[in-house]
Structures are given as structure tokens and as C-alpha cells.
Amino acid sequence: MAEMKECFGQCANARIHYREMSKKHFLSVDEKKLVECNECPLFARCMFLRYNEVISDVLKALDATEKS
């Protein structure tokens, strides 16, 4: 069995960036590091992808309110 390790907060080195030109926030992940998730036996049940969707939605709402 593959070794289990904690990855939340480190998985794919997720970061929030702000683009001055577009005045929008976006969530970025390190695609090379994300490949490690393919070997994880828990990835199918991992909340990392769901959290990314939620965070992206929050950032879109934040950007929408800043325009108002």
C-alpha cells in the first residue's frame, strides 16, 4: 500500500494570485506537483478539488463586489 501523507495546504501548492491588468483574483496550482495526486489512493474522495471550486467561486464573488 502506498504511503499516506498529509497534503491539504500543500497539495499542488495552491495559491491565490491577483492580476492587476484584469483586476481579478485567480487560484493557481502547480501542475507538476498535482501529478502526485494521481498516485494517492484517497484522491477519488479527496476534498482538494472541491475546495478549489469553492475558493474559485468565492474569488469570483469578491471580484464582482469590488466592481460594484
pLDDT of 32-41, one tens digit each?
877 777 777 7
Count of domains for the chain: 1
User: Is 61:55 a contact under the CB 8 Å cutoff?
Assistant: no
Instruction: Cite the DSSP H helix spans in 1-68.
Output: 31-34, 48-67
Q: Is residue 5 part of a domain?
A: no
Q: Is residue 48 part of a domain?
A: yes
Query: 0.85 exceeded by the pTM?
Result: no
Q: Is residue 2 part of a domain?
A: no
What residue numbers bound the domain in which 46 lies? 11-67
pLDDT at 61 over 90: yes
pLDDT per position as a tens digit, 3-35: 655 655 456 678 899 999 999 999 888 888 777
Q: Is residue 38 part of a domain?
A: yes
Amino acid at 37: C
Q: Is residue 45 part of a domain?
A: yes
User: Is 11:44 a contact under the CB 8 Å cutoff?
Assistant: no
- CA 27 to CA 37: how far, in whole Å? 18
Phi, psi of 6 (to 5 degrees): -75, 135
Q: Is residue 1 part of a domain?
A: no
Q: Is residue 49 part of a domain?
A: yes
